[in-house]
Amino acid sequence: MPSFFWKGLMHELSIAQGIVDIIGQYVPEGQAADVRLVKVRVGQMAGVVPDSLDFCFGAIVNGTPLGQARLCIEETPVRSQCTACGEVFAVEGAAFLCPCCGSADVSVISGTELQVVEIELSDRQAGAV
């Protein structure tokens, strides 16, 4: 794994490694080559650049049994809920202000996720044995 210098430049690499580790917990080694798609949910405020994550994941799995696996990254928007009036709203830019009552006291309810949600495997060719 070419980790020696760009490991530092992108924390997406250690996140990609975390994804590979999670796949390993669900897919037995003998089935790794069947993994085609790994769906990942990345919040827009998770501090992760999707293109970098995709690039890093590809670099890690290249030449391994998971070499056929591709990432499918679903970006989730930042949504907040106002503590004062309960309004739920999409946060545009960095405006954490309730559009209803103007309060800045809001909690982020989505947009910081970093999760593996689905692993898709191709079925073995029938009669291949």
Partner 1 sequence: MSIITIQRKVLEKNDEIARRNRTLFEQHGILALNLVSSPGAGKTSIVERTLERLGNDLHIGVVEGDVQTDFDAQRVARYQVPVIQIVTNGGCHLEARLVQEALSQMDLRGLDVLIIENVGNLVCPANYDLGEAMKVVVLSTTEGDDKPLKYPNMFRNASVLVINKIDLIPYLDCNLATLKSNALRINPHLEVFETSCTTNAGIADWCGWLKEKGTRRS
Interacting residues with partner 1 (CB under 8 A): 4-5, 7-11, 14-15, 18-19, 21-22, 26-27, 36, 40, 45-48, 93-97, 104-105, 108, 112, 114-123
CB-based contacts of 51, cutoff 8 Å, min separation 6: none
Nearer to partner 1, 63 or 92 (CB): 92
Shortest CB 117 distance to partner 1, Å: 6
Do residues 95 and 1 touch, judged by C-beta distance below 8 A?
no
Quote the CA–CA distance of 102 and 84 in Å, as a whole number: 9
**Least spacing, CB of residue 95 vs partner 1, in Å:** 7
Question: Which tokens in the block code for residue 75?
Answer: 């970006």
